[in-house]
């Protein structure tokens, strides 16, 4: 069967991913190393993600703020542990002026060298910590719950659009608390918020759990993640939430006077999701005809395509389509007004149809002159694109009938996309492996998309964990996380031979 993309998932998953992004006009390389241009359809999805996530953040009583792009070098020097972890590859600003080089070009002005270099923020714990140390004085100021929507830069050597770019967009929550219990409650609240966002908004099933010690955010006491399975069986870490203990508070001096008058260090947390989520959406829902966008995050949920013929009939056809658009826009689905576009642009109807198929708009309505005359619509569900015979699955309906069920259709698509992804994920979580040889054999098999292996292990730490990490690394595997609130386990850890204490997921990952 012929598909809209030039490469299929089974032929070459990585090339397919790039092709979806190009054909859906989501983003492109910018010509600036490691940075992408996010185009209207990709940015529209990000705006939807922002809107839905921001509502969740605000509902939790977290206040949005904005902190500086630049962080003085000395802030990093204070936090050696932080720097050792990931902060070495960063964009460093050393000058604040350009001058002519006398040869028609421009160079940084040696006279305008900064006394102290500035780092373009890779994350904002340090600079927000400084602000918190000013804002927190007494137990009455706690908890302090802040968030910012911002761009951050990490100098990545190998980049892939949305998944790993030098500059990316994200939200970073930063909170300060009186004690461990309150900070841990917030850490897990953010984790659950991310799970709900991924599953309910993005229709992307995830496993929320704790990362192993070696995968913790540098300086964190505990790191939690949501992990999603992509269609190639790899894991995508789609959001993280960190309990930072008192280490960051100590470095930044975030102290409060307790009710008894004593000085206490705050316990802090941080949590973030980024434009990486869009990569997850593509690899969860895309098919060989392009993207499929879950209705909740679709910039347009329904596109109406009039089959214009450049003749006298066009006027009546457009009037019919405009009535349809108005009637849909006046309805609500999934708790918001339906987002519907009447695409009146010039161009062949089939070309326009396939452009919207590749963009993944949930419902496409093609309306011809005969439909208009007969009060009909021709409806295509993006998640049911073809009939068994390979034909495009347009379904003719009475306009009134369609209007009566458009909202529930969108709700059904949202649910179907989730169910499809969850069934695939569940089928690709394998539980038959019980020892290291089995693990090796499993991932050595000539399977393109091996999925994840669920194991029970002894939760090794330190050198014992490092041994496990190295063994897995040789197989290009990582421990993803330990699911929250899991049932007790039994048996023996395949790595250490000690009694197993908890489940983990082992997988290849992005």
Chain residues in the site for a second copy (CB under 8 A): 28, 30-33, 35-40, 43-44, 46-47, 63-73, 76-77, 83, 87-99, 104-108, 117-120, 127, 130-131, 134, 140, 146, 150-151, 153, 155, 167, 169, 346
**Which residues are within 8 A (CB) of 106 and not within 5 positions of it... i.e. 6 or more apart?**
98, 99, 100
Is the Cβ of residue 65 or residue 181 nearer to a second copy in the bound state? 65
In the bound complex, what is the minimum distance in angstroms from residue 356's beta carbon to a second copy? Answer: 16
Q: Which two tokens stand for residue 127?
A: 């600079």
Is the Cβ of residue 92 or residue 400 nearer to a second copy in the bound state? 92
* Tokens 């902060």, residue located: 87
In the bound complex, what is the minimum distance in angstroms from residue 407's beta carbon to a second copy? Answer: 21
Return the exposure string of 377-416: e unless at least 16 CB atoms fall within 10 Å of the residue's CB, then b. Answer: bbbbbbbebeeeeeeeebeebebeebbeebbebbbbbbeb
| Distance (Å, whole) CA 76 – CA 129 | 12
| Distance (Å, whole) CA 313 – CA 370 | 10
| Distance (Å, whole) CA 217 – CA 506 | 19
Is the Cβ of residue 346 or residue 463 nearer to a second copy in the bound state? 346
In the bound complex, what is the minimum distance in angstroms from residue 103's beta carbon to a second copy? Answer: 10
In the bound complex, what is the minimum distance in angstroms from residue 300's beta carbon to a second copy? Answer: 12
Is the Cβ of residue 344 or residue 473 nearer to a second copy in the bound state? 344
In the bound complex, what is the minimum distance in angstroms from residue 77's beta carbon to a second copy? Answer: 5
In the bound complex, what is the minimum distance in angstroms from residue 330's beta carbon to a second copy? Answer: 16
Return the exposure string of 121-139: e unless at least 16 CB atoms fall within 10 Å of the residue's CB, then b. Answer: bbbbbbbbbbbbbeebeee
Is the Cβ of residue 167 or residue 454 nearer to a second copy in the bound state? 167
Is the Cβ of residue 105 or residue 462 nearer to a second copy in the bound state? 105
186 dihedral zone (left: phi>0; alpha: psi -120 to 50; beta)? alpha
CB 172 within 8 A of CB 272: yes
CA distances, 281 to each of 42, 191, 196 (Å): 11, 18, 15
In the bound complex, what is the minimum distance in angstroms from residue 112's beta carbon to a second copy? Answer: 8
Is the Cβ of residue 134 or residue 384 nearer to a second copy in the bound state? 134
Beta-bridged to residue 113, according to DSSP, are 95
């Amino acid at each position: 069967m012929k598909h809209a993309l030039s490469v299929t998932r089974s032929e070459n998953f990585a090339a397919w991913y790039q092709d979806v992004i190009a054909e859906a006009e989501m983003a492109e390389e910018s010509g600036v190393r490691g940075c992408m241009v996010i185009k209207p359809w990709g940015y529209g999805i990000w705006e939807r993600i922002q809107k839905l996530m921001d509502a969740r953040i605000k509902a939790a009583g977290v206040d949005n703020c904005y902190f500086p792009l630049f962080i003085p070098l000395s802030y990093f020097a204070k936090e050696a542990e932080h720097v050792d972890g990931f902060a070495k590859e960063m964009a460093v600003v050393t000058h604040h002026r350009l001058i002519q080089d006398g040869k028609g070009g421009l160079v940084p002005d040696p006279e305008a060298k900064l006394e102290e270099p500035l780092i373009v923020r890779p994350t904002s714990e340090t600079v927000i910590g400084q602000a918190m140390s000013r804002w927190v004085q007494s137990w009455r100021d706690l908890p302090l719950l802040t968030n910012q929507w911002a761009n951050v830069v990490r100098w990545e050597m190998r980049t892939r659009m949305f998944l790993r770019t030098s500059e990316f967009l994200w939200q970073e929550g930063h909170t300060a608390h009186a004690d461990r219990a309150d900070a841990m409650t917030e850490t897990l609240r953010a984790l659950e918020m991310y799970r709900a966002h991924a599953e309910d908004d993005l229709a992307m099933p995830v496993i929320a759990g704790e990362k192993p010690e070696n995968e913790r955010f540098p300086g964190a006491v505990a790191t939690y993640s949501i992990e999603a399975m992509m269609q190639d069986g790899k894991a995508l870490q789609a959001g993280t939430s960190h309990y930072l203990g008192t280490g960051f508070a100590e470095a930044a001096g975030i102290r409060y006077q307790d009710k008894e008058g004593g000085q206490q260090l705050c316990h802090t947390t941080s949590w973030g999701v980024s434009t990486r989520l869009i990569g997850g959406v593509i690899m969860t829902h895309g098919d060989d005809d392009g993207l499929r966008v879950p209705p909740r995050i679709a910039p347009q949920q329904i596109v109406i395509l009039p089959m214009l013929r450049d003749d006298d009939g066009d006027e009546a056809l457009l009037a019919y389509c405009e009535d349809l658009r108005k009637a849909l826009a006046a309805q609500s689905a999934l708790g918001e007004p339906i987002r519907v576009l009447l695409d009146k642009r010039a161009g062949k109807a089939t070309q326009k149809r396939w452009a919207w198929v590749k963009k993944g708009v949930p419902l496409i309505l093609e309306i011809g002159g005969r439909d208009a005359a007969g009060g009909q619509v021709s409806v295509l569900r993006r998640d049911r694109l073809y009939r068994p015979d390979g034909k495009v699955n347009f379904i003719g309906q009475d306009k009134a009938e369609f209007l009566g069920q458009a909202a529930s259709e969108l709700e059904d698509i949202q649910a179907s996309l989730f169910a499809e992804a969850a069934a695939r994920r569940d089928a690709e979580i394998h539980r038959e492996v019980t020892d290291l040889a089995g693990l090796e054999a499993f991932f050595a098999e000539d399977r393109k998309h091996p999925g994840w292996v669920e194991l029970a292990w002894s939760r090794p730490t330190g050198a014992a964990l490092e041994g496990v990490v190295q063994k897995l690394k040789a197989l290009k595997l990582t421990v993803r996380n330990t699911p929250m609130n899991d049932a007790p386990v039994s048996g023996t850890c395949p790595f250490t031979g000690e009694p197993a204490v908890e489940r983990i997921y082992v997988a290849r990952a992005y």
